[in-house]
Amino acid sequence: MKQKTQTLTTVCAIKNGFAFKSKDYLTKGIPLLRISNFNDGEVYINDNQIYVDAKYLKSKNDFIVEKGDVLIALSGATTGKYGIYNFDFPSLLNQRIGLIKSGESDTLNSRYFYYYLNILKSEILRNAGGAAQPNISTKKIGTFEIPLPPLETQKRIAQILDDAAALRDTTAQLLKEYDLLAQSIFLEMFGDPVMNPKEWIKTRFANLVSSNCPLTYGIVQPGDEYENGIPCVRPVDLTSQYISVDNLKKIDPAISNKFSRTILEGGEILLSVRGSVGVISIADDSLKGANVTRGIVPIWFDKKISNRLYFYYLYKTKRIQNQIKRLSKGATLVQINLKDLRELKIIQPPIELQNQFANKIALIEQQKALAKQELQESEDLFNCLLQKAFKGELV
């Protein structure tokens, strides 16, 4: 039996944001929500928040965001991403964002609608048009149909999905705890790397790398996607501790060969030196023969005096990250000069102690691998239940 559906406009109020002018931006007042305030989860307000005068709560009251409201990005690379507003105070909505007020319906459970947003995002991406960049209108979103079983059924579906999400989130939190444990072990063994309470020798960063390490920028212009080409790592790819060949952009081998000094062997530290300065990852063995863009410096270490895992966790500490940021320059594009990077003084504990640390980290990595497998399984379970829920197959 086909389940009952209704268009979103029949159960929700949907509207656009307002094009507030940059001259009206303030450092305090009423928060102005932009696309950068959410990313498929709760809306967040941080130190970079933009504000506007409280007078706009009256003159622009159609664009007030209240607790329980849903925000949807309408254009650009982030089209379809959503945010749930859970603050007790009001904010105002900027342009290019859709506002959905689902609380105005007494036939729609809020948690059920929250999970429907995963389906809605997929529909938005499928329907988004635009030559230069994807975009979609709130009018079009309003025509999408939402399965609407009886309210009690919606509540049961939401509870099942809550339980599945809790299992997934618990495993994800365990991974975070392992990362915190690794950082704790680092600080216990080596102390604050800037204050240096254990009085380790400090040396130039350039003295710790291999004599074969050029400490240079990668490919300036990687070019277009090239079928069966050479994988190329960009700063945006540095999203986890280990980076593999999966999902990397492939470029013309001739371009890669022009920048042969940064062709990877696998196992290098990859340090972002432009844009997201200080972001760091490790190249796994699948990256042998790959290359990097100008925003990344690959680092080979002299194994007699430097351990890469020690260095990775050293550079993950807030103290070293702050040092890197202080060395960074540029208004529109932040970057660190390689000369400054070479001269950066860092602590150099005995290699035996670095290796002991690496051995402890290896044990943690084994547990993380198991947790990642569990996370993937719980993620698959959640997605399976999600699809069944909105096909009427769950209850």
Q: Is the pLDDT of residue 60 over 60?
A: yes
With a pLDDT cut of 90, the percent of the chain lying above it is 79
Report the pLDDT value the prediction gives residue 394, as an integer from 0 to 100: 85
Q: pLDDT of 84-119, one tens digit each?
A: 999 999 999 999 999 999 765 788 998 999 999 999
Q: Is the pLDDT of residue 195 over 70?
A: yes
Q: pLDDT of 364-393, one tens digit each?
A: 999 999 999 999 999 999 999 999 999 988
Report the pLDDT value the prediction gives residue 14, as an integer from 0 to 100: 94
C-beta separation of 190 from 352 below 8 A: no
Report the pLDDT value the prediction gives residue 26, as an integer from 0 to 100: 95
Q: How far apart are CA 180 and CA 173, in angstroms?
A: 11
Report the pLDDT value the prediction gives residue 137, as an integer from 0 to 100: 94
Report the pLDDT value the prediction gives residue 1, as an integer from 0 to 100: 56
Q: Is the pLDDT of residue 132 over 80?
A: no
Q: How far apart are CA 146 and CA 7, in angstroms?
A: 6
Give how far Cα 117 sits from Cα of 129, 170, 357, Å: 20, 21, 44
Report the pLDDT value the prediction gives residue 224, as an integer from 0 to 100: 84
CA angle 168–174–179, rounded 5-degree value:
135
Report the pLDDT value the prediction gives residue 47, as an integer from 0 to 100: 85
What integer best gives the mean pLDDT of the chain?
Answer: 92
**Confidence at 227, pLDDT banded by 50, 70, 90:** confident
330 vs 208, residue with greater confidence: 208
Gyration radius of the chain over CA positions: 25
CA angle 258–271–177, rounded 5-degree value:
145
Report the pLDDT value the prediction gives residue 48, as an integer from 0 to 100: 86
Report the pLDDT value the prediction gives residue 276, as an integer from 0 to 100: 85
**Confidence at 228, pLDDT banded by 50, 70, 90:** confident
2 vs 254, residue with greater confidence: 254
**Confidence at 38, pLDDT banded by 50, 70, 90:** very high
